[in-house]
Amino acid sequence: MRRRALVLALLLLGAPWRAAAEEAAGLVGPVELTVGARAWYASGNLTWGFAGTILGGPVKPLSELRWRGVDALVSEVSVDVVWRRLVLSGAFGRADDRGGVLIDDDFALDDHRGRFAHTRSTVEGDLSYARGDIGARVVRWGEGRRGWLDVLIGYQYWHEKLEAFGLQGFVDLSPFGIPLQLPAVAQPNLKVITHDYYFNSLRVGTRTQVPLAAGFALRARATVLPYSSFRLDDVHHLRTDLKKNPSFRSEQTGGLGVQAAGGLAYAWGPLSVEAGFEFWHLHAGRGGEKTARLRSGDLNDRLTELSVERAGPYLALQYRF
C-alpha cells in the first residue's frame, strides 16, 4: 500500500513537469537544418556603356564595352534553417572566369552609328556572391509534408572582376571626314582593361517543392531584385590621359533584377540530389558616369547601360539533419 502511494505521489508530482515539457516541445517544435553544395556552370554577358561628347557634340552611347561568353564554374555552399514556419536561408558562391571576349566600341554618332574604334580582347577574372534571406513557410502539404511554399525577403552582394588582355581591331577616322583606317593591336599577354562590378541588392521572392512519385520532386525559385546599388570601376591600363584608380566610375541606384531556377530533385532519406537550370539578370538602368582624366579635371557623363547576365545548368547536393 505504501509503495503504491509513493508511486502515485511521484506521478502526481511529475505530471506538471511532464506537461510543461510537452508544451515547451510543442512551442519550440523541431528545427530542420539543411546544408548543401552546388556546382553551377554559368555563362555570362556583361555590358557597360555611357554617353559623352565628341567634337563638341553629345553622343549616346559614346562608348560601349561588351563582355561576351564569359564562362564560370561556380562553387556554392548553402544552409537553410526551418523552425515551425520561420525560414532562414543563406549561400556563398565563388568562381574563376574562363574564356569569353571583350568587345570595345566607340561611336561618333547616336544609336551606335559612326563607329570609329573597335577592338577585341581575351578575358580572365573571378566572381563571388553572398545572399541571406528570411521568410515564412506559408504552405505545407503531402505525405511527410514534403511539399512546401516559402516567401522570402533578403539581401544579396555580388562582385565580379574582369580583366582584358591583348587587343585586335582598328581605328577608323572616316566618321570624321578622314578616309583613313589604322590597325589597333596589343600583345596577347598585355593587360588593357580591368572592370570591377559591385551590386548590393534587395531580394523578394518565393521558392517551392512539389513532390512527385518515388522520392522525386520538382523545385523552383523566382526572385525579384527591386532595388540595387551598383558601382563599376574601370581601369584603362594603356590610356596615358586617364588616372588608374580608377579611370572611369559608374554609379547608380534603383534598377531591376530577376533570378529564376528550376530543377528535378531525388531524395533518399535525408540526402537529396538536384539537377536544373538557373538564370540571373541584373540591370542598373541609367545613372552617373565619371571619367577620371589625368589632366584638365574629371568629366561627368551619363551611364546608358550597366547589366550582368548569367545562365546555365547546375547540380546540387543537400543533406537534411
Provide the domain limits for residue 34: 28-320
- Please write down the HEC assignment for all residues of the chain: CHHHHHHHHHHHHHHHHHHHHHHHHHHHCCEEEEEEEEEEEEEEEEEEEEEEEECCEEEEEEEEEEEEEEEEEEEEEEEEEEECCEEEEEEEEEEEEEEEEEEEEEEEECCCEEEEEEEEEEEEEEEEEEEEEEEEEEEEECHHHCEEEEEEEEEEEEEEEEEEEEEEEEEECHHHCCCCEEEEEEEEEEEEEEEEEEEEEEEEEEEEEEECCCCEEEEEEEEEEEEEEEEEEEEECCCCCECCCCCEEEEEEECEEEEEEEEEEEEECCEEEEEEEEEEEEECCCEEEEECECCCCCEEEEEEEEEEEEEEEEEEEEEEC
The answer to whether residue 84 sits within a structural domain is yes
Distance (Å, whole) CA 79 – CA 204:
18
Q: CATH number for the domain including 226? A: 2.40.128.90
The model's pTM is 0.85
* Cell numbers 555580388: residue: 158
What pLDDT score does 17 carry? Answer: 37
Q: What is the CA radius of gyration of the chain?
A: 28
pLDDT surpassing 70 at residue 18: no
Q: Which of 36-45, 244-253, 299-308 has the highest mean pLDDT?
A: 36-45
The predicted-structure confidence for 133-173, as pLDDT tens digits, reads as follows 999 999 999 877 789 999 999 999 999 999 999 999 999 99
* Cell numbers 512546401: residue: 148
The answer to whether residue 21 sits within a structural domain is no
Domain count along the chain = 1
The answer to whether residue 315 sits within a structural domain is yes
The answer to whether residue 51 sits within a structural domain is yes
The answer to whether residue 16 sits within a structural domain is no
The answer to whether residue 12 sits within a structural domain is no
Q: Which residues contact 163 (CB under 8 A, 6 or more apart)?
A: 123, 124, 125, 191, 193, 194, 195
- Please answer whether residues 68 and 103 qualify as being in contact, where contact means their C-beta atoms are separated by less than 8 angstroms: yes
pLDDT surpassing 80 at residue 262: yes
pLDDT higher at 142 or 184: 184
Distance (Å, whole) CA 148 – CA 88:
15
The answer to whether residue 105 sits within a structural domain is yes
- Please answer whether residues 58 and 50 qualify as being in contact, where contact means their C-beta atoms are separated by less than 8 angstroms: no
The answer to whether residue 15 sits within a structural domain is no
The predicted-structure confidence for 64-76, as pLDDT tens digits, reads as follows 999 999 999 999 9
What pLDDT score does 250 carry? Answer: 86
HSE-up of residue 1 (Cα within 13 Å, Cβ side): 0
Q: What is the mean pLDDT of residues 244-266?
A: 91
Q: What is the mean pLDDT of residues 121-141?
A: 97
pLDDT surpassing 70 at residue 14: no
Distance (Å, whole) CA 93 – CA 73:
10
- Please answer whether residues 135 and 145 qualify as being in contact, where contact means their C-beta atoms are separated by less than 8 angstroms: no
pLDDT surpassing 70 at residue 297: no
